[in-house]
């Protein structure tokens, strides 16, 4: 009986949870705000995403860099690469330790914090 339960778990359960897209979950916001994004900036200002972000509100959460220079970064939960936009800022460069943002000919560098602090 125990072997049957293990076999059932190994064979049937993955088939039940598999989906046509390979099991990848994609959050569909239906035009609404992501409930996991903060509503208040570190400075205490209410954030209306995309328009009101300041350079100080940008939190660089991670960078994935490869040998060919195809780097991507996670800023405020959004995956960006060179040439993408986050709010009113254009991503000028994604380097292994920082990201350079441009807004109205002003350049801002957001650094990756080491050690999780």
Name the domain count of the chain: 1
Q: What are the pLDDT digits (tens) for 73-92?
A: 998 888 999 999 888 889 99
The reply to whether 41 falls in a domain is no
The reply to whether 44 falls in a domain is no
Burial class (CB in 10 A: 0-12, 13-18, 19+), 41: middle
- Note down the domain range covering 19: 2-30+58-116
Question: Residue 1 has what pLDDT?
Answer: 67
The reply to whether 40 falls in a domain is no
Is the pTM higher than 0.75? The answer reads: no
Neighbours of 55 (CB within 10 A): 14
Question: Residue 99 has what pLDDT?
Answer: 94
Q: What are the pLDDT digits (tens) for 28-70?
A: 666 666 677 777 877 787 766 566 677 777 889 999 988 888 8
The reply to whether 48 falls in a domain is no
The reply to whether 65 falls in a domain is yes
Q: Do 49 and 59 form a contact (C-beta atoms < 8 A)?
A: no
């Amino acid at each position: 009986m125990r072997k049957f339960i293990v076999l059932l778990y190994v064979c049937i359960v993955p088939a039940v949870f598999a989906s046509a897209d390979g099991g990848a979950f994609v959050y569909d916001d239906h035009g609404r705000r992501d409930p996991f994004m903060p509503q208040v900036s570190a400075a205490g200002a209410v954030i209306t995403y995309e328009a009101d972000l300041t350079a100080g509100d940008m939190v660089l959460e991670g960078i994935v860099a490869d040998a060919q220079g195809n780097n991507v970064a996670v800023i405020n939960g959004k995956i960006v690469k060179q040439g993408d936009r986050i709010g009113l800022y254009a991503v000028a460069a994604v380097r292994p330790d920082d990201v350079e943002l441009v807004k109205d000919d002003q350049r801002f560098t957001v650094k990756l914090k080491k050690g999780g602090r």
